[in-house]
Each structure stands twice: as C-alpha cells, then as structure tokens.
Structure 1
C-alpha cells in the first residue's frame, strides 16, 4: 500500500487523556480509528496525568532553588515515558508504531530555559516512518537547543509541538484532544451556563488565550494562523463534536464570544519617572532581555516633569520584573517601584467589539452594578479588558457572561 499518498493528520493528547493504562489503551483505539479511516497519523503526547506538576514539586523538595537547565532535563522525562507507553499500546492493536524524542523528531528551539521558542523542525525520521505506514508518537513540550540540551516550551507547550509538527509535515489538520468538550464561552467552574463555541477565528481564539483562557496556548494559535492549519479542540473522553479554529469561519451569532479571566498577573508601577525621551525604551528592553513580557502598559502624565509607568506581568516573572524596575529607577533617579499581586484581568472577546461603541459602557455598567471597582482599562479591536481586585474576579466574570452571552444582549 502507498502510505505516502494518504492524507496526514496530527493528533495531540493531553496529560489527563493518557493518565493511566486504561486511558492509554483508549487513546490507542482513537488512533486506530483515525488510521483505519485512511490517514497517516502522527501523535504528540503530554506527560501522564499530573506528572509535570509532580516533578516540579519533587524538584522543590530536593533543592528549593531554580536551575532552568536542570528543570528542563527533569521535566522532559515525563513526555518520554508517555510516548514509549503509548507506542506499546498502539502496537497491541496490531498497528506499527514508533516513539520519537524531540531530538529524533528534529525539533530545534532557543531561548530561556522552560520557555523555549521553536525555530526549526526537520522531521525526516518522522516523515519516513509515516510514509511506511507507521504511527509516529512524538514527545510534546520539548525541543533541542543548538548545544544539544533539552529545552521545554512552557505551559501548554505540547499543543505548540503538535501545531509546529503539523506545519512541518504538511498535515491537513491538527486535532488537540483534551479533557474538555471544546472551547467554551466561559470557565465552566465559574459561569452558570457556559456555551460551547462551534467555530471561531484564529484572531479571536488567540485573544482568548492571551487574556487568560487556559484551553489553548496563545503561541500555538499564533503558529496555526501563520501556517493556516485548521485546529480542532475536543474531548478524548467522548465523541461529542468540539470546536474548530480556522481562518475566517462563516458564523452567525453573538458579537461577544467569550468572557475570560486571568488571576496569574501582577501590576508593577514605576513612580516619579523623569519625563525624558528613552526611559520607556530602556525599561522594556531590560525586561525583555530578562525574559519578562509586559502587558497593558500605561503611562500617567503627572505634573512637575515626572510620570508613572504601570504594566502587568505574569506572577511567575514578578520577582525579576521588580529587580529590573528597581535597577532602572536607580539609574534614572525615579522615586521607586510599587507592585500589586491582588489583581485579576477580566476580558470580553469578540470580533465585532470595535463596531459596537455601546459595548464598553455596558461592560462598565455591569461591573458598577456589582460594586466592582475598575483599576485599569485596555482595549483592542477584539477585546475589552478591565483590571479588578482578584477577590471580585469571578463575580465579574459571572455577571458579564450572564449579560453578554446567557442573556444574548449582543
């Protein structure tokens, strides 16, 4: 049989999908079903269950210090177990399968430890196996540096591995199979009546991910959009239809697609910054050089030739952000640095927001009626974000979801 002429799809299974022997066998059946339908199949797998979190906790118990290189070496072992076990499970069904590490799959990355960025994939070994009718099972979440070290790709990095491989292999789609039934309009643990989104554009989906939705990693959606790879997000536990993410889907319905929130952010403010050219460039260049991304940057014009510059960072990067900011303050003779960890951002997302000038006032009114104070506001063509106290974030999400989605106001 000419396997090379068959269409190709990439399946990715999350940790809960391969959490134990029974789940491994179930996933092997899914792979068999897709392969029997006439596809070459590449599979990307996360570490089993909560293994990544368990390894992080183990490292903390052994030595309560952080060495990025050694953490990458440790965390990569989770996926290496998964691919070997899943390959064995697939073989049990009479299907040839072969596991591949990132090195064997030709996945190269660079950047900071635990936050690697894929820059090249040369999957000749994987392609050879696929063309011989073998199911290729590849480690997610990891790549190899030019120096030969393992580097991991950050939370959600297995999704990124799958999308990147789909692009490199010319797959017709990439299916991300998880413990959720699709992309929802709100966190089911928070809102009363979440709705499954059947189809959504890359841009809206990316905005959701950036603003805190945890179903997909933003970098994965960005890469899928760049290479125009349709993404499917669905459950490996049921056969219920999930969500398709693609370019310009034809849909009707609500302007507001989702309400998302993120409590893993902190606010940093440089106080009394001299109003001279180049200060912002120095600050944010230094943050970037230290691997810290800044969001929602706001400069307040003050009197007396000084300004305040505020921005958000991930809580995981807060300590580094404070160190960098204090150093810059000393260099430019600013007044100091303040920070706040008791905040959250709440965002409504929808492609039509820019065409509906009444939406911002509605959002602010809903929050005011709930007695929720707004500390910062930012908007894009696709999203409107408010920073609120973290103790009121879920109240804000519930109220906004009820108004904009459950009651279908827009």
Structure 2
C-alpha cells in the first residue's frame, strides 16, 4: 500500500465547495487503496485577515502572539476538511502541528523544523483514517506554538513526506504546473512535464511562485518525489524529481525577481578575512543574499556586491554599516529600481555559449546588463526594473522555449497515482545518507562535498563601458573561438563602468587572451589582465542560500588560513571562490575540516 501526501493551499480550500472538492480527491485516492495524509493551509485570505486584525490592535505585536494568532487559520481549515470527508463517508482525523509532533526551534514567525514524530500519524493511517495535518505550524521545546514562515505549508508537506517515506507528495495549486516562465508576461509559456530538483530550486529562489525553495530543499535532501498539480482540473501537472537524462533541454525556464536592490561595499581591503567579516554581519541578521559577486581587487582594495529583496534593504544597509565599521574602511553604495532575470537548465552542463546567447538576445533588445553571476545550470543578470518584463519575453522567445519538448528523467514514473519505478524511488547515496543521519535538526544544512579545481585560469577586463551589447560582443567572440567559459562575474564600478572576470581552462588561456585583446580598442579605457594559475573551490550542498551561515563558515575558514579571495560566485546548491593556486590545497583542507568532510 503506497502512501501519498497531498497539500492544498489557501485558494484550494477558500470556501466550502472547494474544501469538498479537495476532500473528494483525498477520499477517492484513499478508496483506491492508498494511505493519505493531507496538509492544509488557511482558507483563502484568512491569514491576511488575521494580520489586519493584529495591526488594528497594535503596531508592534510580539512574534510569539502573532504565531498564536496565525496558527488558528490552519486549525479552522483542518477541522472543516475532516468534516467534509466525514460527510463523504470517509474516516479522517484533523491534527494541529503540535499534535502531529512537529518540533521546531524558537524563531517565531520563521521557525525551522527540528524533528517530526510519526507515531500518531502511523497509528491513524493503520486504522484506515485519512490524516489531515495543519500546515505552516509546529511547537518549540517549551510548547509554544510556532509558524514556519513563507511557504510554510509546502515545507510541512515535504517534511511529512520525508519522515513518512511517502511514495509521492502532491502539491495542489491554482495553476496547471511549472511553466517555462510566467504566462501573464509571456502568453506562449507552457507547462513542463518534468523538472529536476536543482532546476526547481533555482527557479523557486528566483521568483517562480509555484513553490517555495525551502520545500524543494526538503524534497531534494530526502529524495521525495514531488508533483505540482492543479486543484480545479484533472491535469497531471509537473513532476519534480531527480536528475534528468543528458538530453535535457539546455534551458528549461526563465525566472525573474522584480523588486531587487543591489548593495555594494567598495574600497574594502583586498586581504584575508574581509569577506568573512562582512558575511558574519549578514548571517547574524539572517539576511539571505543573492547574486554575491566579488571581482578581482586592484591597488590593494576590492569590491563586493550582492542583491537582496527591496523589503530587506534597510536591514542589509545596517549590517553593511556594521561590517564597514568593523573593517575600518570602505564605502557603501546601493542600486535600486532593479530586477533579476535568470535562465535555468540542467542541459547547460553539457553546452557552452549559453551565456553568450543570452547576452546577445538582451543586446538586440537594447537591454543593458548590470551584475552577472553564473552556475552550472543558471545564468543571472541584473537589469533595470522597467525592462524586466521585456527581458523575460525576449529571452523566452530567443531560446524558443515555446517549442520546448518534454523530456524524461533517468527515473521514469509509473502511470498510476503516486507510484514510481524502483529506480526512481531509490534513496540517497550512502555518503549523503550518512550526512543526513548525523543532522541534529531536519532542516540543518547539508554540505555534501567540497570541490577543488586546479585546472583553470582567470581573465579580467576592467573599465568596460556600462552599455548594452558589451557582454554579448565579448562572449560571442570567445564562444566562436571555441573556448569554454566556467565562472562569469560582473560587478559595477565607479563612473558607469563595469569590471568583468571569467574563468577558462588553463589550456585555453592564450586563446582567450588572443580573442579578447583586439576588442579593447572598441572600449576606450578597458584594461585586460589575467592570472594563469588559480584554484577554484566550491562548497556543494542543499539550501546554501537560505541557510545564511554557510557563506560565513566558508569565508571564515579561508580567513583562518590567511587566504585571500579573488572572486566569489553563488547559486542555490554551491558557493564558489577563486584563490591563488599556491593557496589552493591549504584552502581545500581548511574547508573539508570546517564542514567536517575530511
């Protein structure tokens, strides 16, 4: 008998008719012989209503009392859902997060899960009941009610699926599944049948609102097959599972975050320990940074930039000021009215020239590119907010995502609900499982490995004009010359100039310099430099961006070894840093020790 977890969001249980529709889905699945756990959110706008009531009472409600208040929304929903199942002739029991045994830390309004007891759920399931669990909530060790923050019901669903070893976790929502981009902006966008955990992690963190990245982290960590399905139709939705076959599309989707701001720390000492000091201040305030870029320092000073949601700007500037004060020098700059646009696709691993193509598409639309970061499966750029939607449209069309064909995973699912092939349901590798078994808390970070690459060189072009088409021109020439580019980092300098660094195989360094050198005459004061021998170190894991202390730990380890960082690049699953080759082995051993992988 298979076990299926079904999660229904607020729009899926907004009124009694929708609650009955959700109840029918669960009852039919139960009658077909499956054990069923439902995770239910608060009805419709209930949470917003409760927030308004709190605001009418006081301008500064305590986080503990907000958790007490907001948790009532899910308690109402689970009770009504149980009544609906009873009306349909089924047997069900509603349980709050505390009754299930969801134990969290004491971070009210944004708690993380420590553990979940399965005994009560297992007993009810074995008695033939449908278990209806309140999403979004738990309790701390002192029995205070806590809530899990944004995306909390998705997190509850995937966490329950993990501890119950569920065969499938179905996320019911008001859309048909995961789309190549937002159909409201690009009408030609269409649903993808399947997508990998890593792709979905990147898309979720980049504003694709179908699921929150924290729930995808759970699913990837514990290898829970997820299916995003429509609440109001019989569509199959989108399967989120393990790595797809090698013939996966180069680009699977285009995602964007509209309200983004850039914070830059300039004229900071180019020496060991500086990045660690900065990121310690950010981690203390639990600020999740994205698009972290550090370009190569000159004249003894360096510059690091990162993006945050506009709503986090004030807190970020406070942390940045504390960092500058601790360092003893430096300035803070900010860029507003910006948006982040990204392409994501597992197929990028096996193709080069993808970034070049993206830059060319944007250049043809006269869209200027600010910061740039890349990872194995993502290229992200910062653009003016008023050009965000146009950037999404031209990229989607330029990569012909309207013609994207479906592809299968190396693990093919069976057709019946919730069933997957034996290969698809295989659990984690022995190494990953050993790491997870040692976790004190379910949501603790999993750093699975540290990669050490000694085979690359760095090319830097400084003082580039901040104009559309510059990146397109440079990387088109490099791609046409047959050079494969790995890391790309572009930071904004003074007086509307950009500084760009990228890494290439050491065997391609001379070819790269030959290709780039003739372009300098087109760009006024542009300067070309390089370093033949570098070491690239990458910390690889799950949820690195949302766990704010990972960057702090990585940079602190390098600081303790008195190793200076030349470049930084980040994504959802890895943080990479470039250091001098002579310090590479020492840095590698220090990171292995820091993350207890040695």
Q: TM-score, normalised by structure 1?
A: 0.94
What's the offset of the Cα at 1:265? 2.9
Q: Is the 8 A contact 1:299 1:310 kept in 2?
A: yes
What's the offset of the Cα at 1:106? 0.6
Specify the alignment match of 1:17 in structure 2: 12
Aligned residue pairs total 405
Specify the alignment match of 1:403 in structure 2: 398
Specify the alignment match of 2:333 in structure 1: 338
Q: Among 378, 389, 404, which residue is 1:394 paired with? A: 389
Q: Among 174, 191, 195, which residue is 2:190 paired with? A: 195
Q: Is the 8 A contact 1:270 1:334 kept in 2?
A: no
Quickly say closer, same or farther: Cα 1:384–1:190, change in 2 above 3 A.
same
What's the offset of the Cα at 1:252? 5.3
Q: Secondary structure at the match of 1:261?
A: strand
Alignment of 1:121-136 (within 5 A): 121-136=116-131
Q: Is the 8 A contact 1:192 1:398 kept in 2?
A: no
Q: Secondary structure at the match of 1:33?
A: helix
2:101 aligned with 1:106, yes or no? Answer: yes
Q: Among 371, 374, 380, which residue is 2:369 paired with? A: 374
Quickly say closer, same or farther: Cα 1:270–1:231, change in 2 above 3 A.
same
Q: Secondary structure at the match of 1:298?
A: strand
Specify the alignment match of 1:285 in structure 2: 280
Specify the alignment match of 2:42 in structure 1: 47
Q: Secondary structure at the match of 2:400?
A: helix
Per-residue CA distance 1:199-230 (angstroms, 9 max, x = gap): 11111111211222111111211211222211
Q: Is the 8 A contact 1:403 1:409 kept in 2?
A: no
Select between 52-61 and 31-40 the one with higher mean Cα deviation: 52-61
Q: Is the 8 A contact 1:112 1:291 kept in 2?
A: no
Select between 81-90 and 46-55 the one with higher mean Cα deviation: 46-55
2:227 aligned with 1:232, yes or no? Answer: yes
Q: Is the 8 A contact 1:109 1:116 kept in 2?
A: yes
Unaligned runs of 5+ in 2: 406-598
Per-residue CA distance 1:250-272 (angstroms, 9 max, x = gap): 58563211001012432111232
Q: Is the 8 A contact 2:13 2:77 kept in 1?
A: yes
Specify the alignment match of 1:35 in structure 2: 30
Specify the alignment match of 2:60 in structure 1: 65
Q: Is the 8 A contact 2:4 2:170 kept in 1?
A: yes
Specify the alignment match of 1:3 in structure 2: none
Q: TM-score, normalised by structure 2?
A: 0.65
Q: Secondary structure at the match of 1:25?
A: helix
Specify the alignment match of 2:173 in structure 1: 178
What's the offset of the Cα at 1:114? 2.2
Distance 1:144 1:130 in 2: 22
Q: Among 296, 306, 312, which residue is 1:311 paired with? A: 306
Q: Is the 8 A contact 1:256 1:405 kept in 2?
A: no
Specify the alignment match of 2:457 in structure 1: none
Distance 1:74 1:183 in 2: 32
Select between 112-121 and 279-288 the one with higher mean Cα deviation: 112-121
Unaligned runs of 5+ in 1: 1-5
Q: Is the 8 A contact 2:188 2:402 kept in 1?
A: no
What's the offset of the Cα at 1:116? 1.6
What's the offset of the Cα at 1:122? 0.7
Q: Is the 8 A contact 2:253 2:401 kept in 1?
A: no
Q: Is the 8 A contact 1:199 1:251 kept in 2?
A: no
Q: Among 251, 257, 260, which residue is 1:256 paired with? A: 251
Quickly say closer, same or farther: Cα 1:134–1:41, change in 2 above 3 A.
same
Q: Secondary structure at the match of 1:352?
A: helix
Q: Among 123, 134, 139, which residue is 2:134 paired with? A: 139
Per-residue CA distance 1:265-305 (angstroms, 9 max, x = gap): 32111232122321210111121121112222122445442
Quickly say closer, same or farther: Cα 1:246–1:186, change in 2 above 3 A.
same
Quickly say closer, same or farther: Cα 1:62–1:389, change in 2 above 3 A.
farther
Quickly say closer, same or farther: Cα 1:177–1:347, change in 2 above 3 A.
same
Structure with greater Cα Rg: 2
Q: Is the 8 A contact 1:271 1:334 kept in 2?
A: no
Distance 1:357 1:349 in 2: 14
